Each structure stands twice: as C-alpha cells, then as structure tokens.
Chain A
Amino acid sequence: MTPPREPLDAVMAFLEPAFRRVDALEGDATIAGECAAHVTGNSRLTPAEQVDIYRRQYWLRHVDALADDYPGVAYLLGEEGFDAFLRAYLLAHPPRHKSLRDLGADVVAFSQGHAFPAALRAVTLEMIAYEHAFIDLFDGAEPPPLDPQKLTSMPEDAWERARIVIHPLLVRRQVRFAVHRLRLQAKSSDVAPLAAPPSEAPANLVLFRDDNQIRFEELDGTAFALLDALARGEALGPACEEVAATLDAEAADQLGAQVGPWFQQWTARRWIVDVVV
C-alpha cells in the first residue's frame, strides 16, 4: 500500500513556486504567513527569511549556469540586458531537466519573442543560435570513424551515386554577423565593452569537434553549399549538380576539380564518417 503523502505534497506544493519567486518573500505579508505555516524560522531568521535563502540561491545558480553557455550574448547585451534576458527566460521556462546542461533547451525559441534593443536584435538572435549549438557538440556521441577500406574499395563509377555521410554533430550556419569572432572576443581576458552594434559580415560557418575541442571554420559559398547538400542526404552526383546550377558557367566548370581536394580535407577533419552506395 502506498503510504499517504499529503503533508509532503503540501510542503512541496508551497515551496516549489516560492523558491522561484522573483521578489524577496519577506516583503509580502501573505506569503510570509504561508511560510510560517510550513517553516519554523529561528531566533535569527523568520520563516520567510529562511525560505528566501533558497530563493536567492535558485536565481544565482540558474543565471550563472546559463551565463556560462552564452558568453557572446552577454558581450552583446551587456551585464544588465543579459541578466534581464536570462531572468525572463527562466520565468517563462522554469528548469525541467535533471542536468543544468539542458537548462537552455528552449532559449533559441524563447529569444525570438524577446524584446532585445532593436540595433542588436539580429546579431543577438544569431549569437544565441550559434552558442546554443556548442552544447550538443561538446558532449554528443561520436560516431564510428570512416573506414578507409571503404574508400579504397569503392569502384570509380560508384562515386556518382554515393551518399557521403556527414558527422551528425557538425553544425552548418550561414550568418550575417561574424558571431564566431565576436564570441572569441567576448571570451578573451581583456575584452572591452561593446562600443557599437557590430556591422554585418556574412560568413559560411562550420562548427565541429576535433580532438574533443570545438572549432569553427569559414567555408567559401560553393564548398558550403556542397557540404550542405551532402548533409541533407543528397548523393554526391546530384549534390554537385544542385550546386553547379547556382554557379556561372566558369565556376560550374571548376567545381569538378574542387570536389576532390574538399573531400580529402573534410575526411581528414573527420567531417565525413561514412560513404554509402
């Protein structure tokens, strides 16, 4: 028989939301009274002051944990704006996962509706999406490496229809702002506050894990388009045709000669994990 749990449930039903309140509990007579019903207090602290210790810890802990994951966003918004964003996020999306690693699970979606300063909105949204990608990349499962035997034994005529399997953790981003460089700047020890909203500086970015470190690389548009088509599951031949169709005649002619070196480069960086015919 399951033992009755009413008092336990009552305590948790009161305290769980109380610990997440924005304002100190002591100033609210109603909630202070409710605290006294569940919590004893002592000669130094009232019941509400005891509960408030946990409330303050709740905000400190979760704001700090999120701040660790989004240093570039902090740099763009400044201390006050960043803190307000994180607190608004936590109010809208209380932590639901066991690990603090997943605390920002809804940050990207939430940021779309947040009122950022107009001049910083586009770069901030791009930075949030960029930094969010680091989380899975950091500790995601590594697939088995590409078997070199597969490449050497592949008949020449099979390459056309071969599907090049891209590393599942590899992230592709076309950005309007140089968020990758801004993030490095934000993490440097002598970072100065942002003087003006960053100018546009489009880039084709690949984020990947190499020797357990996260790295980025900028690709030219054609290489990026081919990698993107391959990652979407296109076979090599159709992927090259798709990319060639977007190029002028001269560039399309050169594409064939470029694919080989790109393939070698991407294989060496372990961006390619399998080739399936």
Chain B
Amino acid sequence: MTSKKTPARLGLPDLGVGVGMRIPHYEDLLDHPEPARMDWLEIISENFMLGGGLPRYNLGRALSRYPLVQHGVSLSIGETAPLDYEYLGKLKALLRETKSPWVSDHLCWTGAHGVNLHDLLPLPYTEEAVKHVAARAREVQDFLGVRLILENVSSYLTYTSSAMKEWEFLTAIAEEADVGLLLDCNNIYVSSFNHGFDPREFVDGVPHARVVQIHLAGHTNYGKYIIDTHSAPVIDPVWDLYRQAIQRCGPVSTLVEWDDDIPPFAELCAEAEKARVIRDEVARDAAA
C-alpha cells in the first residue's frame, strides 16, 4: 500500500520508543541526575498551553533532557463550528518552544453548540465527513507550519449513516488533506471488539507511508464492550497488531500511553522495552 511517491513516515524521523510524560513519573524522568533511557516523550499540548507555574517549569526541564512531541486532545477536527484560532495560536506558540517535529490530535469531534464534552467522539464515515474534515485538517496544518497527524480513536458506537470502513475513512482524509497518521493499535483493537471487524484488516488498510507515529496502551474489558482506559498493560493481541504495523510501515516512532492506575516508572519502561524488542525483531527479519 506504500505509495511510490510518498516517502516512509512522510519523510519525518523515527524517534524510537517513548512514553507519555505524566506527573507521577516526573521524579524518574526529570529529577534523576541522568535522564531515563527513553528516546523521546510525548506531552499533552493542552496541559502546557499556560502562562507559567509548575507545568511550564517542568516543561522546561523536560525539554533540556528529551525530544518532545506534542499530542492534543482538543482540536475537534470533526466539529462543524469554525476552527478556533485562539486555540490554534496557543498551539503554534507551544510548537515554537518544543520544536515538536509534528503535532498530533484525534480524528474526532469533542463538542458542538459551544459545549465541549471533553471526549474523543467518533464521526460518521461518510464522503461528506471526509470533505469536511480534510478541508479543516489542511487549514490547520497550513496554519501550524508542521505536519499534522491524526489518530484513529476508540469508539463505542457506530452510525447508521456510515458508508465506509473506518480505515477507508481515515485513509481518504489523510490522502485528501495530505496529513499523517498516528496509528493507535490499542484503539484499533478496542473498536474491532466493539464493532466486530478484523483489526488486522485495519492495519493492512491504511496508507503505511503516512504512518508517522504509533500508540500502544491498555484498556478495560467490560464483557459486552471495551473502554480505552489506558489503565493496564498492553495485551498480547495489541502487541501482535503492533508487530504487523511495524512490518508494514517500517520503523515508526512508538509511544506507550498509561494514564490511569499509573504504575511505577519501571513497569512503564518494561512496556516500552517490549516495543523496542519487537521493532528490533522486525528489523532483523526484514534484513535477513
């Protein structure tokens, strides 16, 4: 599926394996005399779009030790209200500071009618939504001046109006807007369980050269449905999807997320190490 014209990762660097920068791990990440063995960190942009205080102080410390990549949760690229340029201006100012090589957010809507639901809500997979989102994504990318990459979300419902598969929707937007993709293997698994599709088909179906980053995380299975809680280790079927993704895309910047019931840093590092081992195995197999 890799296009002949499109370079791998859209020409963006492979940063290796990183973790999300979360407060319980600040001591390990920022206070120790030696930086942790972590190739890069991902920050939630909105947590640092602030005037000052402790968050900004810690951002400065992190920047002095690790490459940082910005990941947002509030862009609401699918919303039908006009783009929020006050928000985008702050995002751009932060990008100047962090020198993040790309900026990511989710392929979703987060609110409507002036209400922000602070959730990553799925869109109907329609041609209309493709055109709407692609136009906005292109506008955002042009304004920010760095590559925008969009992440597939976990979803707990599907729409009667959807007319294509999720990966077809993701692909159509990425191609039309010329943006990158953040492939979240856990989200693929969660949605495949909730909606009954083959997750391997999803991984095979996206434009691999546009995959700039991969997310890995744990989830909570409630029996009839799964919620993307980021509160547990990555499960084996998600590691399998990760291996498949790396086989298709080549080495891609990989990030382990853990946001709830956050474990000791060593446990998070062990998860990151698993990703590193898989990346190395795939690279060895490819070279053989």
By a beta-carbon cutoff of 8 Å, the part of chain A in contact with chain B is 3-5, 7-9, 11-13, 15-16, 19-20, 36-40, 42-45, 47, 50-51, 53-54, 57-58, 61-62, 65, 94-101, 137-142, 209, 212-213
Contacts and interface: CB of A to CB of B under 8 A. Distances in A.
Contacts of B87: 98
Contacts of A213: 54
A39 B227 contact: no
B116 A97 contact: yes
B119 A40 contact: no
B221 interface: no
Contacts of B156: 50, 53-54
Contact of A19 (B74, B119, B124, B224): B119
B129 interface: yes
* Consensus secondary structure, chain A interface: helix
A5 B108 CA distance: 15
A25 B179 CA distance: 37
A3 B128 contact: yes
B158 interface: yes
Interface in B243-281: none
Interface in B98-153: 109-119, 121, 123-124, 126, 128-129, 131-132, 135
Given A7-B128, A42-B195, A140-B51, A54 B159 contact: no
A39 B115 contact: no
B157 A138 contact: no
A15 B121 contact: yes
Contact of A139 (B53, B157, B159): B53
B163 to A, nearest CB: 10
Interface string B49-89: 11111111100000000000000001000111000100100
Contacts of A19: 117, 119, 121
A96 B111 CA distance: 9
Contacts of A137: 53
B256 to A, nearest CB: 22
B190 to A, nearest CB: 12
B46 A99 contact: yes
A57 B49 CA distance: 25
Contact of A44 (B49, B109, B224): B224
Contact of A138 (B53, B118, B196): B53
A97 B109 CA distance: 14
Nearest to A43: B196
Contacts of B116: 95-98
A98 B171 CA distance: 27
Given A15-B121, A138-B54, 17 more contacts: A7-B124, A7-B126, A7-B161, A8-B132, A19-B119, A36-B160, A38-B160, A42-B196, A51-B157, A54-B119, A61-B119, A96-B116, A98-B110, A99-B49, A137-B53, A140-B53, A142-B53
15 contacts: A8-B128, A9-B80, A16-B113, A38-B160, A38-B161, A50-B157, A53-B156, A95-B116, A98-B110, A138-B54, A139-B51, A139-B52, A139-B55, A142-B52, A212-B53
